[in-house]
Structure 1
Amino acid sequence: MKKFALIGVLSASIVFSSCDTLNQYSGVINQALGTPSTTEMSLGLKQALEFGTNYSSERLAAKDGFLGNMAVKILFPEEARKVETALRSIGLDNLCDNVIVSLNRAAEDAAKEAKPIFVNAIKQMSFQDVTNILLGQENAATLYFKRTTSVALADKFKPVISSSLSKVGATKYWGDVTSRYNKLPLVKPINTDLAAYVTDKAIDGMFVEIAQEELKIRQNLSARSTSLLQKVFAYADQQKGK
């Protein structure tokens, strides 16, 4: 009977979406599952973060992972937007489109390298890190990853992106774009480091996706796909609701 009662609680909790209702039902679930031990808290949070970072990396590494996602799609560098406008105004839309596609393809290639970096950051977490994230603000895990993985991601991403930019033709397209633009009268030449720009945007996009996954598991009870996740995050909901 306890098993069926718990399933009923979980099913009902998915139907309601307000914060008050979430806190109410998470408290009931926590009572049914019990208070997690420190080991369970650590394992549960790390399990959630591994799920979230793996999913984010895989989604961005897929074809159109960047290009088809307006939240992370890489466009012309800010200082080169006038280049795009000028070239499109003289009918060079295809050239500009080729640049944008190639930038995003390079970022998608780089995203394949992210998983082990996040796994290592998760392994290095202290119990204090676990507690701060579990009971912290809704982007606490994302902020932790920004602090602990940004340098490693940049080191890993940049050579992959440099290689990919050449492979997919971005270097040539970008050279064509800047060459044509820089020949226009009275313009300031553009000399953007394309690999550095795409690396920064790829890392930004990775954290956008991780933030979405973090928010999902904090706010959506149905995203807590294992009994350990249900127990640990129900406890966190109860503690934050006090």
Structure 2
Amino acid sequence: MFTRLASALLFTGLLAASTPAAQAQTKKTTTTKKTTTTTKTTTAAQKAAAAKAAAAKTAAAKAAAEKAAADKATAAAAAAAAAKPLTQTEAASGIKEALTKGITKAVEFASEPDGFNLNDDIHIPWPEDAMLMKATLSKFPGMPTLIETFETQLNRAAEAAAPKAKDIFLNALAHISLTDALSLVTSSSTDAATQFLRKATEAQLVTAFKPDITAAIDQVGAGSAYKKMTSQYNRIPLMTPVQTDLSAYTTQKAVDGLFVLLANEEAKIRKNPAARTSEILKRVFGFKG
């Protein structure tokens, strides 16, 4: 019986000793499996990321190649267009569009409050033949204020009448022939078209514009102020009477100012590619033939 008891105890001890080892082995196996699974998952993710990066790189390369091909085609087309001789029809379309654009902007600018009055390039001064009257009357009480106001009123008259000039200018564009147009667009002068238009239409413009200026002079009070000043001045002994035609003077100065503004707009189109806002302007004024 003692022998059986000893055998049982021995078996129990062996069993107890073997259980932790078995558990450790099982845990190790499980950990190994998890590590293997994690490694396989990481490897798959890396492969997917690498494949995605490779695809993106390929797409970028393709897009770059397509853009380069398109740029090359555009440059070739531009070069071909530039090499193509400029036709009279293109020149006429370009010069008329440039002048139309310039006229629109010039008239809009001149029509604004102080468009003439505060612009040193087109400000209408006292009439030259009335400068002695201005100097003389400035010594009389109350006259300095009237004198100062009068000059501003002349410019206000031009500003008020300026919108009427647009249609007059635009109608005048019809007088430009195809031959003249080609000559004008290829001119080295930055205001060639403006000067051509002025030479051809200035007299017509002055005649058509004068009634509007005359009405504006009376409307802003310049006419009554001028009559008051000339009436007083002409009564001064030994003074040569002032006989300036105020309407004619202001009309001419207003037309002069509009041509100055038009010339400035033409120069912008000729000099600055950014001012060529249409394909015909780019073609005509970008032509280097």
Shorter-chain TM-score bucket reads 0.7 to 0.9
Aligned length: 218
Asked whether the 8 Å contact 1:157–1:199 carries over to 2, the reply is yes
Does residue 195 of structure 1 match 2:247?
yes
Q: Distance in 2 between matches of 1:162 and 1:41?
A: 38
In structure 2, what is the equivalent of residue 164 of structure 1? 216
1:108 and 2:159 equivalent? yes
Question: 1:147-226 alignment to 2 at 5 Å?
Answer: 147-226=199-278
CA contact (8 A) 1:113 1:156 kept: no
**TM-score, normalised relative to structure 2:** 0.69
CA contact (8 A) 2:191 2:266 kept: yes
Q: Which amino acid aligns with 2:167?
A: P
Seen in structure 2, the aligned counterparts of structure 1 residues 131 and 84 have a Cα distance that, compared at 3 Å, is: same
- The match for 1:82 is 132
**Any conservation in 1 of the 2:88–2:181 contact (CA below 8 Å)?**
no
CA shift, 1:29, in A, is 10
1:39-95 CA distance string (max 9 Å, x none): 333222211111001111111122211111111111111011111122224452210
Q: Please give the alpha-carbon distance, in whole angstroms, between the structure 1 residues aligned to 2:158 and 2:190.
A: 26
- Name the SS for the 1:112 alignment partner: helix
Which one has a larger percent helix, Structure 1 or Structure 2?
2
Among residues 149, 172, 175, which one is paired with 1:124 in the alignment? 175
Moved more, 179-188 or 68-77: 179-188
Instruction: Find the residue that maps to 2:239 and give its secondary structure.
Output: coil
CA contact (8 A) 2:88 2:179 kept: no
Structure 2: tracts of 5 or more residues without a match: 1-66
Deviations 1:101-141 (A, max 9, x none): 21111111221111112222223321111112101222211
Structure label with greater radius of gyration: 2
**How far does the alpha carbon of each residue in 1:21-40 deviate from its partner, in whole angstroms, 9 at most, with x for none?**
xxxxxxx9962653344433
CA contact (8 A) 1:102 1:168 kept: yes
State the partner residue of 1:22: none
Q: Which runs of 5+ in 1 are unaligned?
A: 10-27
Deviations 1:200-225 (A, max 9, x none): 11111111111111111111122112
3-state DSSP class of the match of 2:117? coil
Q: Secondary structure at the match of 2:164?
A: coil
Residue identity (%): 36
Q: Is the contact between residue 29 and residue 234 of structure 1 (CA under 8 Å) also seen in structure 2?
A: no
Amino acid at match of 2:99: L
Distance 1:78 1:29 in 2: 57
SS of residue matched to 2:125: coil
Task: Tell me which of the two structures has the higher relative contact order, counting C-alpha pairs closer than 8 angstroms and 6 or more residues apart.
Answer: 1
Amino acid at match of 2:160: D
Q: Which residue of 2 aligns with 1:16?
A: none
Asked if the contact 1:66–1:73 (Cα under 8 Å) also holds between the matched residues in 2, the reply is yes
SS at match of 1:44: helix
CA distance in 1: counterparts of 2:73 and 2:116, whole angstroms: 39
Given candidates 60, 72, 82, the residue that maps to 2:122 is 72
